[in-house]
Chains A and B, each alone.
Chain A
Amino acid sequence: MSEEKVPSPGLRRGYLKEKGFRSWAFTHDHKRIGIMYLIATHLFFLIGGLLAVLLRLKLLTPGPALMSSHAYNVLFTMHGAMMIFLFIIPAIPSSLGNFFIPLLIGARDVAFPRLNLYSLWLFLAGIVVTVASLLNPIDTGWTFYTPYSAKSATAVTALSLGLFLVGMSSILTGLNFIVTIHTMRAHGMTWYRMPLFIWGMYATSVIQVLATPVIGMTFILLVAERIFGVGFFDPAKGGDPLLFQHFFWFYSHPVVYVMILPAMGIISEIIPTFSRKPIFGYKAIAYSALAIAFIGFLVWGHHMFVSGMSTAAAVIFSFLTFFVAVPTGIKIFNWIATLYRGSISLDSPMIWALTFIFLFIIGGLTGLFLGALATDVHVTDTYFLVAHFHYTMMGGTVMGLFAGLHYWFPKMTGRMLNERWAFHAWWLIVAGFNVTFFPMFILGMQGMPRRYAEYPAKYQPLNIVATVGSWVLALGILIMFVNFIRALKSGPPAPDNPWHGLTLEWTVPSPPPVENFEEIPTVTDWPYSYGEKEEPGNDE
């Protein structure tokens, strides 16, 4: 929107300068590793999204149409498995986390740069094996419950191996981040001067390190059952299918906090920056991240209320489940309190951050119906659940990811996004998302079960609404991605500090040089002193 045409600078500046396959495949630079994770994870976001559009197409009619029931089972399994393991778990931590943790703490790289590279290779190897399993695609649902997953003639073993490798990547990344945050903060950066994104990433990394091995063991046991005939989960051999569920959910519940904590960290950065106000309740937000991580380990049984689990255990898990709402609520109230009397700018990062808060509240509150035993019996494994987790995972994590991408795009690429396109993508996505998923709360209450290829005709109208919503959502996402690509090619050059932020990444050029900082800074203040000090870096 400038009067004269300023030629766009090339992308190849700073850490992006060096060319060639080897400079990427064998890099130790956390920024390049982050970019590679970014591309890989978003590729699977698009593929998983395409699968979802196909799913919703099938669900336009209640009877048989478009594909067999088996094909439908494969579709929702692959949609779930890809979205969860290949996109949403690694998306923020491995890409934005990798890129920005060292920058935010004033370090030149992570603690173990070579391990970082090997983690990426493990991730890519896992992707290859997982995709190879598509030759005989699995149809068990992404939760692979036994006994069916132990008996299904599909490539469960291959997928388990692929996801085991992906899990190892996740573990090593978390380990790297924990040690980095403990040992590589710049001089003067005490724990209470760390940006809240770092607190969030720390809590996330602790979960990754402690929970992921359990899903690793779960895969090993499942493969042992399939290959060696070991009967831990097989009732015919004295085994217990519920044991699988305990193992599966001991990881898969904490992992939803791996998904949401980094997104919350991003929101904690964006809200104060675009309100020009210090964050309200810094310590409360920091400790809430740790509390969420810890409480998250205590509640896995709430996925098993109707499984045949003992009532005593169910009561305990339900009781504990309510506690996780407390630190979550604290964060939400503190963000809102930050907005109060702030000087709000509605640039693209901010509209995404505000969207996160709104949609995550809906997702979180609906969790209460699922956490309460009596109501859960009615809504579990219905579309109510599907809506709940899409509101939290997509309305929450993915919108938080979009916020982070818009916020940090200038820093990573040296280009500015087109704000008008970003706005149009935004309202299409938000409208499409709500039209797709809100009806599902109603469908679930009315009794429509999930994972059914065919359904009673009375549910059709709302299914049609949801499918149309999915098209609007897909269009919005497409426009957003086109905006990214256009900006990469011909976006206006980004200044060092386009948003006038106070965290350390805004003190270095956009894109940053390989070594991040010319001189490691000495930190003397916390990064939220908006209105109290001048922001660093030149911005014109």
Chain B
Amino acid sequence: MTSDHPKHEGAPVSARLGIWAFLATELLLFGGLFTVYAVYRVVYPDLFQQEHLKLNRLLGTLNTILLLTSSLTMAVGIAAIRQGRQQALKIALTLTLLLSAGFLGIKYLEWSEDFSHGLYPESNLFFGLYFMMTGLHGLHVVLGMLVMGWLLVCARQGRFSAQYSTPVEVTGLYWHFVDLVWIYLFPLLYLVG
């Protein structure tokens, strides 16, 4: 690795290696929950079939759309700052934040509705999984929003440019990962139970 690598626009290789290594740890963290899902789905197929119908498929689909769109806005924001377009980056970050807030809002609605129907984490194994998986995922959304908020502050101060966009790139990769987790959570919890 002492040879020169071709010039890659965006973050330097050490930053990219670092964030991908971090995403590996997140993959294994969520992976634990996916393992629990796999185990109990195999052992209690009827429970999963019956309980998953209690989830709101419409809201779940809406949330999927919001998150996919937030990935789009994030990707567009990064493409923008690579070209030095600061204003476009700020707009993109703001949109991503709004879409994420929308996601959390809908999640809040869903959870409230579940609680009002007496469905809690301890109600049964399916809902235990549902609340833990969406809860951990939601926590990652919140953390992502905090980082993006900080990025917006830095962007307002003109800290990013075509030559320096590393924090934005790295956050973008994290955000897409959060989207990836939801891409699997959605069908596993809402659609196939």
Contacts and interface: CB of A to CB of B under 8 A. Distances in A.
A–B: direct contact at CB < 8 Å = yes
Interface of A: 111-112, 171, 175-176, 178-179, 182-191, 209-214, 216-218, 220-221, 224, 228-232, 237-240, 243, 246-247
B171 to A, nearest CB: 15
B28 A210 contact: yes
29 contacts: A175-B18, A175-B25, A178-B21, A179-B14, A183-B1, A184-B14, A185-B1, A188-B2, A191-B1, A209-B21, A210-B28, A212-B25, A213-B25, A213-B27, A214-B28, A217-B33, A224-B132, A228-B122, A230-B128, A230-B132, A231-B122, A232-B125, A232-B128, A237-B124, A238-B44, A239-B125, A240-B39, A240-B43, A247-B32
Q: Identify the 8 closest CB pairs spanning chains A and B, nearest first.
A: A217-B32, A229-B122, A213-B28, A230-B128, A213-B29, A228-B121, A183-B14, A175-B21
Contact of A111 (B14, B25, B33): B14
Interface in B92-148: 120-122, 124-125, 128-129, 131-132, 136
Nearest to A246: B35
Interface in B63-83: none
B26 interface: yes
B2 A231 contact: no
Nearest to B122: A229
Nearest to A172: B22
B132 to A, nearest CB: 6
Contacts of B44: 238
A216 B31 CA distance: 11
Interface in B2-44: 2, 13-14, 17-18, 21-22, 24-29, 31-33, 35-36, 39-40, 43-44
B2 A185 contact: yes
Contacts of A185: 1-2
Contacts of A213: 25-29, 31-32
A300 B22 CA distance: 24
B128 to A, nearest CB: 4
Given A179-B14, A209-B21, A213-B29, A238 B125 contact: yes
Given A213-B26, A214-B28, A221-B36, A179 B21 contact: yes
A178 B17 contact: yes
Give the one of B1, B32, B120, B122 with max A CB within 10 A: B32
Nearest to A218: B32
Contacts of A176: 18
A224 B28 contact: no
Q: Which of A176, A183, A216 has the most CB of B within 10 A?
A: A183
Residue with the greatest number of chain B CB neighbours at <10 A, chosen from A221, A228, A230: A230
B13 A183 contact: yes
Given A213-B25, A243-B36, A111 B122 contact: no
Interface in B160-192: none
Contacts of B120: 228
Contact of B121 (A179, A187, A216, A224): A224
Nearest to B5: A183
A500 to B, nearest CB: 27
B125 A237 contact: yes
B24 A210 contact: yes
A221 B22 CA distance: 21
A179 B2 contact: no
Contacts of A111: 14, 18
Nearest to A240: B39
A186 B132 CA distance: 45
